[in-house]
Structure 1
């Protein structure tokens, strides 16, 4: 009989779902005693009801875009241990999720559960605590739990005693978890999972020509995440004014309004730089391998993809909360540079263009910390546990 694995995700930003799909892809390549592993991704917010999913998912997106400071404040409040370990476990939202998860577990009887978002893992931890005699012969069984951290930090909501294994993005994150009281034996420093297909890419010349850009010119990529957060408009304005010879690719993501505004603004003026504006694209593996510098906010998956591609980042904006802590991580590793009042985007970019050795220095730092077999490592851990 084939083994079954559930991957619990949530649509608050694109990273959790993409990490879930990366793990699923690798698990489905594996087998135990000649049997393939039955693997299913469950969106934990949609599982409760459509309204809850819409409120939380769209609420995150709107907060991140329009009230980032308020979002950061909520993040810091919820990061207090007393909130994570007590408040979340006792609230109505967690009670509802516990009820839905209990039914899901009874119906599907999984052999192991992986979480790429803390919400379902809090609920599962609550259930595990409620049934202390939990074992495979119990009338209600909660299988081993693996929690995958999709940022280079550890928010307190992830810290639950009932979790069997934590997948951390870096050795620094491992030490953060240990400082929060997690047993070192529970922590696997594998990285943040990315689809294996992301490692492949086409020739730079072909990719840039398709985008209307010159293959032999220094290329700067500007992004703001899947929904175009961050002050992209002002960033582009500053880039245009820099007296250096380079071209610009802007990716607006799913923010069609931003894309239209940028295109109209570009059409109205004449610049000495070639500028290409793109909406949502599935060709990030090609693009990140074809540009020289990335200017973006440091989301967990964005950061990981840049590390895998050894692409230096300049970070002029971020959503307060995990992205701020991702930026701390990148800065501590020398894998990205951040703007400030004196060290503006203009100052930083000019130095990098004029001194290619600075770019190579950042790339060497990235090589020292990047991890690119994460999903496969997680799949192998699953085999070790349930095989």
Structure 2
């Protein structure tokens, strides 16, 4: 009988779903006892409640674009002693999610669960923590205790999609954590997680991303010169960050380079930038794109990336050897991603003195500085994350009776 894996994701940013797709791609190519592995991606917030999904997913998008400082404040509050680790599961919202997930578990009967977002894993940890044990009385303090009766929760694995940790990811009931780098593993160990549970495989990306077309062809199609230094300015799938203001800074830099701006799904931002460029009388070649599914080609064709440091954006840039300058970020996990990149010498961060203009001029005037950044990038990037995750899943499912063996 074939084994079944559920991948629990959520649409708060594009990275969680992209990581889920990368894992599914590899798992569907695996076999156990000559039987293919069944694999299904579940958008957990949509499964629980469409209204909740809209509130949380769109709320994240809006806060990322319009109120990033407020988002950062909530992020930092949840890391303080006011909300201790492993206690996120003890609230009504989590219990409500757990109730919905019980039906999913009983229907799908998965042999293993992978989470690329912390919310569903908190709820599933609630189920595992409170799973009904025969001959034991229910806890009268748990208003949803009846939903745990006769429930079997399979092994669970969380895939962290940023180069940092957060209390929401850390749950005693999890069997494995997949992280982007050994530094992140050490962060989890410092938080009390058993080091044997943590695998530093990297953040997974789809295999198709690793291939790309010829640089000259790609730049020519974009209306850019293959022979000129190319700067890509972007802000993730939502077009977040001070992109408009940053473009103004770039236009004022007295060096010869060309600019590609990608605004993602932020059509309003794209319109504003295009209107702004109508009055631009300088010599720089600037091209503007909205959402594109050609980032594998584009990142392989540019020289410098100016962006906010989202987990998947950062990973994709590292895999393509692209030096980064980070002038803006959403406070919280992106700020900590920037800490990681800076500590590894893989990106430059702007400050009040070291402005974007100063940093970019030095890179243009001294190309050896770009080579140093690329060398550092090569030392930390990790290929084959999704393949390694899939192999670990096969090992676990082939040895279900002794999950702690690994």
Shorter-chain TM-score range: over 0.9
Other-structure match for 2:374: 363
Query: Could you tell me how far apart the structure 1 residues matched to 2:86 and 2:214 are?
Result: 52
Q: Quick one: which of 353, 358, 364 aligns to 1:347? A: 358
Q: Normalising by structure 2, what TM-score?
A: 0.93
Q: 1:133 to 1:373 in 2, by over 3 A?
A: farther
Do the aligned residues in 2 keep the contact of 1:149 with 1:167 (CA within 8 Å)? yes
Do the aligned residues in 1 keep the contact of 2:30 with 2:36 (CA within 8 Å)? yes
Query: Could you tell me how far apart the structure 1 residues matched to 2:361 and 2:263 are?
Result: 24
Other-structure match for 2:216: 205
> Quick check: 1:141 aligned with 2:152?
yes
Other-structure match for 1:57: 57
Do the aligned residues in 2 keep the contact of 1:295 with 1:313 (CA within 8 Å)? yes
Other-structure match for 2:130: 130
Do the aligned residues in 1 keep the contact of 2:132 with 2:151 (CA within 8 Å)? no
SS of the counterpart of 1:248? Answer: strand
Q: Work out the number of aligned pairs and report it.
A: 384
Q: Quick one: which of 258, 267, 276 aligns to 1:256? A: 267
Q: CA deviation at 1:267?
A: 1.6
Other-structure match for 2:240: 229
- The answer for unaligned runs of 5 or more in structure 1 is none
Q: Normalising by structure 1, what TM-score?
A: 0.97
1:317-360 deviation per Cα after TM superposition (whole angstroms, max 9, x unaligned): 00000000000000000000000000000000000001110000
Choose 11-20 or 80-89, whichever is displaced more: 80-89
SS of the counterpart of 1:207? Answer: helix
Q: CA deviation at 1:24?
A: 0.4
Q: CA deviation at 1:269?
A: 2.3
SS of the counterpart of 1:193? Answer: coil
Q: CA RMSD in A?
A: 1.2
Q: 1:81 to 1:164 in 2, by over 3 A?
A: farther
Query: Could you tell me how far apart the structure 1 residues matched to 2:228 and 2:86 are?
Result: 55
Other-structure match for 2:106: 106
Query: Could you tell me how far apart the structure 1 residues matched to 2:83 and 2:299 are?
Result: 38
Other-structure match for 1:309: 320
Do the aligned residues in 2 keep the contact of 1:81 with 1:156 (CA within 8 Å)? no
SS of the counterpart of 1:90? Answer: coil
Do the aligned residues in 1 keep the contact of 2:12 with 2:57 (CA within 8 Å)? yes
4+ residue stretches of structure 1 with deviation over 3 A? 84-87
Other-structure match for 1:281: 292
Query: Could you tell me how far apart the structure 2 residues matched to 1:368 and 1:177 are?
Result: 21
Do the aligned residues in 2 keep the contact of 1:84 with 1:157 (CA within 8 Å)? no
Do the aligned residues in 2 keep the contact of 1:221 with 1:293 (CA within 8 Å)? yes
Do the aligned residues in 2 keep the contact of 1:64 with 1:71 (CA within 8 Å)? yes
- The answer for unaligned runs of 5 or more in structure 2 is 135-148, 399-406
